[in-house]
A and B are shown apart, each in its own frame.
Chain A
Amino acid sequence: AQRVTQPEKLLSVFKGAPVELKCNYSYSGSPELFWYVQYSRQRLQLLLRHISRESIKGFTADLNKGETSFHLKKPFAQEEDSAMYYCALSRGSYIPTFGRGTSLIVHP
């Protein structure tokens, strides 16, 4: 069975500090991994996916198959980054599995 684990429910940092939101997965095949973000009172939206290897809003995430991780990183957090972040895994049949989410709070 596929599983996504986000070990931190809450991550609190100060503006300008580095941020790392952890995501570990278990899946026997080749995963497709995503990070979604939900700002206050807004719908969930895609932040980035591992196959595109992009940097979105300063965030990056690298798939580490050896450690089965897909951690989300940003070198300098901004207050507007405060949101709920979900890691998600999709397999070929298009049925996604979401982690329980990490709430990021960036203090001024």
Chain B
Amino acid sequence: DADVTQTPRNRITKTGKRIMLECSQTKGHDRMYWYRQDPGLGLQLIYYSFDVKDINKGEISDGYSVSRQAQAKFSLSLESAIPNQTALYFCATSGTQGNEQFFGPGTRLTVL
């Protein structure tokens, strides 16, 4: 089945470290998104990309960067991790037939 995958699934790191979270999809979708989920705050959009050459900031892009290496891959980087970036991070895709989002399984990131 076509899917959205994320690696790693869990990561513990220290303040100041550079971290990359990766997202791959086999759905053939052009649109890809990165969200963070915090208790009580719901889902907040970090970055999104509508094709390989298109990168856009979301609501909370400060402290993050992204790279769209191919249609199927969209990576999120934390250049210098800080404790308040501890959260659950989700990648999502959507296709051209509607606005439904298809989510990956999430990456739980802890910054000590």
Contacts and interface: CB of A to CB of B under 8 A. Distances in A.
A35 B58 CA distance: 21
A90 B99 contact: yes
Interface in B27-57: 31, 33, 35, 40-45, 48, 50
Contact of B105 (A43, A46, A96): A43
Nearest to B100: A46
A45 B90 CA distance: 12
Point out which of B41, B42, B45, B90 has the most chain A C-beta atoms below 10 A from its C-beta.
B42
B99 A45 contact: no
A53 interface: no
Name the prevailing secondary structure of the A interface residues: strand
Given A32-B99, A36-B101, A49-B100, A43 B90 contact: yes
A50 to B, nearest CB: 11
Interface string B72-112: 00000000000000000010101000111101111000000
A90 B45 CA distance: 13
Given A94-B31, A94-B94, A95-B48, A46 B101 contact: yes
Contacts, number: 50
Contacts of A42: 105
A34 B100 CA distance: 8
A65 interface: no
Contacts of B44: 98
Contacts of B31: 94
A34 B103 CA distance: 14
Interface of A: 6, 9, 32, 34, 36, 42-46, 49, 86, 88, 90, 94-101
Given A86-B42, A96-B99, A98-B43, 11 more contacts: A32-B99, A46-B101, A88-B101, A95-B45, A95-B48, A95-B58, A97-B45, A98-B44, A99-B42, A100-B42, A101-B42
